[in-house]
Chains A and B, each alone.
Chain A
Amino acid sequence: MAVAVVRDVVRDRDELLEGIEQIYRRRYPAFLRVAVAITRDEQSGADAVQDAFVGIVRSRQGLRSRLALEAFVWRAVVNAARDRRAIRAEAGEPPELAAPTAAEPEEWVRQAIAELPERQRLVLFLRYFADLDYAEIGRVMQVRPGTVAAALNAGRAAVKESLEREEAAAWRS
């Protein structure tokens, strides 16, 4: 039985490799953008995408369904970005992107997004940059679609509230 499974997996290897390469080529900017949103550092984000795909290519024998491949890839990118962020945190390296500075006019926008709980922030990026639907985001984050919807609504509301608050402040000034 185990031998039969291995045979099936080996047969699909080359076809899967071509599929993985196509996803990488087509979606690289979106992968990089979401990874940078997590790591808050451009180089760490690029390294995370690379880590994820190296791991996927190496372990593609374990992939059984092409139709879930993109969600699988996104999950790998998100996990790799979290790992990279942890490595940076352990090394005490400060974030190089999305770190508000007083001199920048969009400080409050970045601040609002940075203050979101990680789940809400990640759902927003996956929805708007990766263009994944609720079910796909659920597969990436391994939560139910209902949880995705709730996190998305909460994230939107938080950003909206921040926008309105800052616009009111700007109007008053």
Chain B
Amino acid sequence: MAVVDEVREALEQAVPDFSDRSGDWASVFALAQAGEGDRPGRAGASQSRRRRGLIALAVAVLVVVVATASAFGTVRNLILGSPSASAGSPVWSPDGRRIAYIVSRGSRNSLYVMNADGSKQRRLARNEVDYPRAQWSPDGRRIAFLRGVRLDGGNWKADLYVVNPNGSELRNLGGHPGAWSLYAWSPDGRLIAFTRERGELAVMNADGSGMRVLARGGSPAWSPDGRRIAFTDAYSTVWVMNADASAKRRLTQGGEVGSLRWSPDGRKILLYCLKCAGDSTSRFNSRLSGWGEIYVMNADGSGLRNLTRDPHAARCCPEWSPDGRKIAFATTERGGEIVVMNADGSGKRTLADGYAQVWSPDGRKLAFESDRSGKGEIHVMNVDGSGQRNLSR
């Protein structure tokens, strides 16, 4: 046995494996949102007391399992042998036949694509692929993604890349997007809008040429007809402008608005908003600490309405169904659940434990990420929650 393997095995025997643990993001988020008087250490100590009984039981079970496995010499198989791969951030191809996703192994992320039934999983780009999720071009012939580039001296910069779904023609488009920059293909596939490092909203041609800055801001979202772009400014308020940067108009004030989604008919905009409050007005009250809530408003900024209004869970990443009649979102309740509701906020229904949900182009399925097995895997289900299937196996 090589020294490396021996050392790894020795380490594994020294510290229990926790690969079945998924943490409690909801508690982290709640504590972070709490007032400064709630110091994390004290809150953690309080939780310690509440959890101590369960933890003791879990440790006892772990000891029994490991001891039993040791007797049969299978400790190494049972205990994590190496950091396991975790798959997430699925996105359907426009024809619904394939799914692109990101596989994380340790600190390295690679871009993969597979058929929608989970077959023919193939790596398109390895290492340093960055979030957020990849984006298919509207014609399905290319996939755009962010990738980090290591510079001399150990610094990093990101660039936009494109690759064909068969892995050919990997190309660096440049652009220097900012941290976690959201980006989006124009509906005609000719342009990509993105946020540059210095907080500039820019567009470039799909071949990387012709980059031009349109505004200060980020989180670009093209209207379905490609004539307008909604975005957030430096204060995370929502603006809309024509695609040539003319006619900029502010739609909201206050709050901290994140991702934006136009309804398929272009008449409404979904907002994911932190610390937003208020209703039926375009003025959020950013002084009220709150949870991530999902709002909808008309594309002219009127008729703002909170669709979630529930103090118990943070929410994220709302997505319109292709016909615009439903909205799917993820909540941090119980470690991550996918909820579908009608476009007016009624009829909320929890479908599965998971997050990062995306509608299939025909609106009949949802792909999502779930760590129910102890690591992130891509699943699909019908939009009523039936027929759940793990594609990563």
Give the B-binding residues of A (Cβ under 8 A): 4, 7-8, 10-19, 21-22, 24-26, 28-33, 36-37, 42-44, 46-47, 49-51, 53-55, 57-58, 63-70, 83, 87, 97-98, 105-106, 109-110, 112-114, 124-125, 128-133, 135-136, 139, 155-156, 159-160, 162-163
Residue pair B107, A109 in contact (C-beta under 8 Å): no
Rounded to whole Å, the gap between the CB of A26 and the closest CB of chain B is 5
Question: Which residue from chain A places its CB closest to the CB of B33 in the assembled complex?
Answer: A57
Residue pair B44, A113 in contact (C-beta under 8 Å): no
Looking at the complex, which one of A8, A12, A42, A130 makes contact with B106 (CB distance below 8 Å)?
Answer: A130
B77 within 8 A of A: no
B320 within 8 A of A: no
Q: Which of B80-88, B134-142, B202-210, B242-250 contacts A (4 or more CB under 8 A)?
A: B80-88
In the assembly, what is the distance between CA of A15 and CA of B178, in Å?
10
Residue pair A129, B13 in contact (C-beta under 8 Å): no
Q: Number of B interface residues at 8 Å Cβ cutoff, please give it.
A: 87
Rounded to whole Å, the gap between the CB of A49 and the closest CB of chain B is 7
Rounded to whole Å, the gap between the CB of B200 and the closest CB of chain A is 10
In the assembly, what is the distance between CA of A58 and CA of B371, in Å?
25
Looking at the complex, which one of B11, B44, B48, B105 makes contact with A128 (CB distance below 8 Å)?
Answer: B11
In the assembly, what is the distance between CA of A130 and CA of B8, in Å?
12
**For the complex of A and B, 6 pairs with smallest distance between CB atoms:** A131-B106, A7-B234, A14-B258, A66-B179, A15-B180, A57-B32
* Further pairs besides A8-B199, A14-B219, A29-B374: 17, Cβ < 8 Å: A8-B178, A11-B195, A13-B256, A15-B218, A18-B180, A24-B25, A29-B21, A29-B80, A36-B16, A42-B16, A54-B44, A66-B131, A128-B11, A132-B107, A136-B107, A159-B6, A159-B10
Give the A-binding residues of B (Cβ under 8 A): 3-4, 6-8, 10-11, 13-25, 27-29, 31-32, 40-41, 43-45, 47-48, 51-52, 55, 59, 70, 80, 82-83, 86, 88-89, 104-108, 128, 130-132, 148, 154, 156-158, 178-182, 195, 198-199, 216-219, 232-236, 256-259, 272, 274, 316-317, 336, 355, 371, 374, 376
Looking at the complex, which one of B108, B236, B272 makes contact with A10 (CB distance below 8 Å)?
Answer: B236
Residue pair A50, B47 in contact (C-beta under 8 Å): yes
